[in-house]
Amino acid sequence: MKIFRNFDISASGLTAERLRMNVIASNIANAETTRTPSGGPYRRKDVVFETLLDGGVKVSAIEEDQDTPTRKVYEPGHPDADEQGWVEYPNVVLVNEMVDLLAATRAYEANVTALNATKNMLNSALNIGR
């Protein structure tokens, strides 16, 4: 039934924003990771959303940020230092990640509010017939 479509739209937003928050948390957790299994420092990841034709949203990709440069810090005693003593750190800026996390949290809350509003409207419509 089409009256339940609003639930599906809000649920897709909740799912997408939850994944976005998980990716941001992973970025924050790896902000100091200088060595990954693929080699080199951790690269921050971004979530790419795609709108669906019948409403809602889905995650179309999780991409590595190749545009933001990594940080180089002079630490000659570090195990991952190069020949000149420079260590390459991830391209994660904690302030930006916290702002993104706050935006994702607000979007999640907005979807919960929309879900509750739809539920209350349907409940009110059912009570009219009583």
The model's pLDDT over 73-97, given as tens digits with 9 standing for 90+, comes to 999 999 999 999 999 999 999 999 9
CB neighbours of 72 closer than 8 A, spacing ≥ 6? 86, 87, 88, 89
Partnered with residue 45 across adjacent β-strands are 64
CA–CA–CA angle 91, 21, 16 (5° rounding): 120
Is the confidence at residue 16, as pLDDT, over 70? yes
Residues sharing a CB contact under 8 Å with residue 97, sequence separation 6 or more, in sequence order: 24, 27, 28, 31, 44
Cα–Cα distance list, 62 to 23, 41, 90, 105 (Å)? 8, 18, 17, 18
User: Is residue 128 predicted with pLDDT exceeding 90?
Assistant: no
| pLDDT value of position 129 | 74
Q: Say what the pLDDT of residue 1 is.
A: 57
Residue 4 pLDDT: 80
For 50-75, the pLDDT digits (tens) are: 999 888 899 999 999 999 999 999 99
pLDDT band at 33 (very low <50, low <70, confident <90, very high): very high
Confidence of residue 18 (pLDDT cuts 50, 70, 90): very high
- Give 92-115 pLDDT, tens digit per residue: 999 999 999 999 999 999 999 999
Q: Who wins on pLDDT, 17 or 6?
A: 17
